[in-house]
Structure formats: structure tokens, C-alpha cells
Amino acid sequence: MNIIKLIKPLLCLSLLAIASCAVKENKRTNEEIFFADPTIYVEGGKYYLTGTKNREPLGFAMLESKDLKNWKTPGADSLYMILKREDTYAGDKGIWAPQILKEDGDYYMTYTSNEQTCIAKAKSLWGPYKMSSNNPIDLSEKNIDSYLFKDDNGTYYLYHVRFNKGNYLWVSEYDFETGKIKPNTLSKVFNKTQDWEDTPNYESNPIMEGPTVIKMNDKYYLFYSANHFRNIDYGVGYATSDSPYGPWVKNTENPIIHRTIVGENGSGHGDIFKGLDDKLYYVYHTHNSDSTVVPRRTRIVPLNLKWNSSKKMYDITADKDNVIIPKIMR
């Protein structure tokens, strides 16, 4: 028997098998994430990502990462649901815009279900999150896009959106004991005042939504999105204040995240978080492509902070050259 003739085809088959595995492995680790309205929670040296899926099964799924680039689910599950449709208020449609926070050892998730702000609770970060009652935070009228901000004195403020010929940001004090807002503290944040907030590329009423608030050196920074999410000019700006209620002064250089800056249409509605490197990041979504809106793609951008000594506050910009495209490993 000619050993060389026998080895050659076996070697070729082995090389083909290796190449095939490499292609499959590359495919497994090269899938983009399609969470809209995303949020990232940081704990124990890891990042946890969830967001709007807008497809079955309705609810929220979670991914984890150590580096913001490569994400996975626990175990072998391809989709790990932390809140399911059957565990929320009238959860047959419109389940979106989650935010996770921790209070007194328990985990809470605020989110929108059928145009009402809800809050669910879990003992574990991975859930399952369930509402303690079947009632939203405030049934007095429709309200969406919730964000709970805890001030230094322990007071919580619920930033959210209410409707009145458009979408506008509101704030109220939130009571964890009752699970409700304090109606007498309800206050409108601001109106549309900058040109970028309402462009003609998609006809709609004025829209300001997706609030996120942080506090640095006694100054409050409110990040928000403007324009209809289907508008290519959907983007992110911020305003500052000395109080959770304002008055708010909008950044004159708004927007800081926009298609002309980060290079993708419909870039907005996300959340700010501090990375394991102590730097600030903003996670957001973009349109699927230049011609289609959904499913929307998830992006992460570092934020540049420059101290402005005359204003005694930070000037904030997006590090447009270092946008992260998170990928899921399956």
C-alpha cells in the first residue's frame, strides 16, 4: 500500500474539516445584537445587557459580557428570558425600554408595557422579574420610557414620558414603599427648543424620550433622545441642572450622538453606565440599515468628559472613533 497516497486525502479532509469549523466558529461569534432601547447594568466585574426585542417571545432577554464586545447567555441557552409577557401588566404588546437597579438587596426593573410604566422585582439579577401587583406605577394617564434616578439623599425620581400632541419628558418623586409616584411632585422637564429635536425627515409630533440621569460634582445631567425613532435624525442630546426638577439648560452643542457623528441612522434611546475602567459609556440603538429601520442594532460608544472651569461642569461628547459593535457568541 502506498502510504503517501493514503495520507494525502486524509490530510485534505482534515484541513477541510478545520476550515469548516473555523467558518462555523466565526459565524457563532459574529452575530450582532438586536436590542432596541438598550440598557447595561454593571456588577461583579461583568456587564449585563437587555433591551426591547419586539418579537416573540415578548419580554426581556439578558446577555452578559466581560469586555462589552463579546456577549453570551448563561449555560447553553440561546435566549435567556428575565421577564416574560405573562408576568407583566396586560403584556400582549408594547413591552419595551427596561432599566435595572438594585435597592435593599433586591433587583428591580422599570419598563413600559402597553404604554404604562411598570416595575417588577427579583431576588436575582437574572430574574425572573415579576410585578408585586398587576397595576402600573401611574394609571392616571399613559406614560412610557421610565428611568429611576436615586439622589445622594436616597430620594428616587422617576423620569418618564407623557403624551400631549407629542412626547414630552416629565419627572416626579417615586415612593418605593407604595410603588407609586407622588402626584403633587409631578413636573414637566422642558419643551422642544432646539432645531435638531424636530427635523422634517419623518413627519410626526415633537418627540423627546428615553431619559437617563446621572449626577457629577453636584450637577445633574439629563440625556434624552429626540425625533421619531423612524427618523434618520433620531439622536441624543443632554441638559444640565442644579436640581432634579430643573430648570434644565440644554447643551448648545446638541446632539452628541447622531448619524452625522457616529455614522448610522436613527442613533438614540439608550442608557449611560460606568464601565469597569471607570469611564462613562452610552449604549443605544441604530436603524437596521440606510433603507430599513427594524430590527434595530445595538451600539456602545465611550463618552469624552472635559471639565469646563467657567461653567463648573463637564462638556460631554461621544468618542465617535471608538464605537463598539457588540456581538453575541452562540
From first to last of its 330 residues, what are the pLDDT tens digits of the chain?
454 444 444 444 444 444 444 444 444 557 999 999 999 999 999 999 999 998 888 899 999 999 999 999 987 677 899 999 888 886 666 899 999 999 999 999 999 999 999 999 999 999 999 998 778 999 899 999 999 999 999 999 999 999 999 999 999 999 999 999 999 999 999 999 999 999 999 999 999 999 999 999 999 999 999 999 999 999 999 999 999 999 999 999 999 999 999 999 999 999 999 999 999 999 999 999 999 999 999 999 999 999 999 999 999 999 999 999 999 987
Tell which residue, 182, 120, 117, 169, has the closest CA to residue 146.
Answer: 117
Distance CA 280, CA 274 (A): 5
- pLDDT, position 56: 87
In sequence order, what DSSP letters do the residues of 273-314 get, joined into one string? EE-TTS-EEEEEEE-SSSS---SPEEEEEEEEEEEETTTTEE
User: Which residue bears the cell 408576568?
Assistant: 87
User: With the C-alpha atoms ordered 221, 321, 43, 179, is the resulting torsion angle positive or negative?
Assistant: positive
Q: At 36, give phi and psi (nearest 5°).
A: -90, 165
- Tell me the one-letter amino acid at 253: E
- Give residue 7's pLDDT: 44
pLDDT at 78: 76
* Alpha-carbon distance values, 24 to 17, 29, 31, 100, 297 (Å): 10, 9, 12, 34, 22
Kindly give, in sequence order, each residue whose CB lies less than 8 Å from that of residue 47, ignoring residues fewer than 6 positions away.
40, 41, 64, 65, 66, 68, 273, 275, 276
Evaluate whether 223 touches 282 at the Cβ level (below 8 Å).
yes
Please give the pLDDT value at position 92.
64
Question: What backbone torsions phi and psi does residue 273 show, to the nearest 5 degrees?
Answer: -150, 155
pLDDT of 54 reads 83
Whether omega for the bond prior to residue 98 falls within 30 degrees of 0, making it cis, is no
CA-based radius of gyration for the chain: 22
* H or E, element range at 41: strand 36-43
Domain 33-328: homologous superfamily in CATH: Glycosyl hydrolase domain; family 43 (2.115.10.20)
Kindly report whether the global pTM for this prediction surpasses the value 0.75.
Answer: yes
Q: Answer left, alpha or beta for residue 177, where phi above 0 means left and psi between -120 and 50 means alpha.
A: alpha
Q: Which residue has the cell 419627572?
A: 171
Structural domain spans, the chain: 1-32, 33-328
Sheet with 117-122: list strands edge to edge: 95-103, 106-113, 117-122
Q: In sequence order, what are the residues at sequence separation of 6 or more whose Cβ sits closer than 8 angstroms to the Cβ of residue 236?
A: 210, 223, 224, 225, 255, 256, 257, 258, 267, 268, 269, 270, 282, 284
| pLDDT given at position 3 | 46
